[in-house]
Amino acid sequence: MITAIVLIKTSVDRIPEIAESIAALDSVSEVFSVTGTYDLIAMVRVRAHDDLADVIPGRISKIPGVEGTDTHVAFRTYSQHDLEAAFAIGGDD
């Protein structure tokens, strides 16, 4: 599974509608409204690297009101669950 973090600039007056349109896409797991340079952050998860082109420039960028994207592809995922398993000592006693 490939995870991409997509930073999105939008028309500020349409953030809620744009966020809902992006969140409705199959490969998008979450969309966050954020402060800072970008208006939204979308988490995109696909099976193959080539699928990113279908989702990001092919679908997200074509949503009316999306002005630009900046995509970061994750190398490795760390979560609290992963860290707990990595540091667990012993078995389930």
Q: What is the pLDDT of residue 88?
A: 60
Among candidate residues 60, 58, 79, 68, the one with its CA nearest the CA of residue 22? 60
Residue 12 is predicted with a pLDDT of: 93
Looking at residue 77, its pLDDT comes to: 80
Tokens of 63: 């949503």
CA distance 80 to 15: 30
- State the pLDDT at residue 51: 96
pLDDT at position 87 is 61
How far from the centroid of its chain's Cα atoms is residue 66's Cα?
Answer: 15
List per-residue pLDDT tens for the chain, 93 residues long: 999 999 999 999 999 999 999 999 999 999 999 999 999 999 999 999 999 999 999 999 999 999 999 999 999 888 766 555 656 655 555
Domain boundaries of the chain, sorted by first residue: 2-87
The pLDDT, as a whole number, for residue 68 is: 97
Give the pLDDT of residue 85.
60
The pair of three-digit structure tokens given for residue 34, joined into one six-digit string: 């954020």
Q: State which fold the 2-87 domain adopts.
A: Alpha-Beta Plaits (3.30.70)
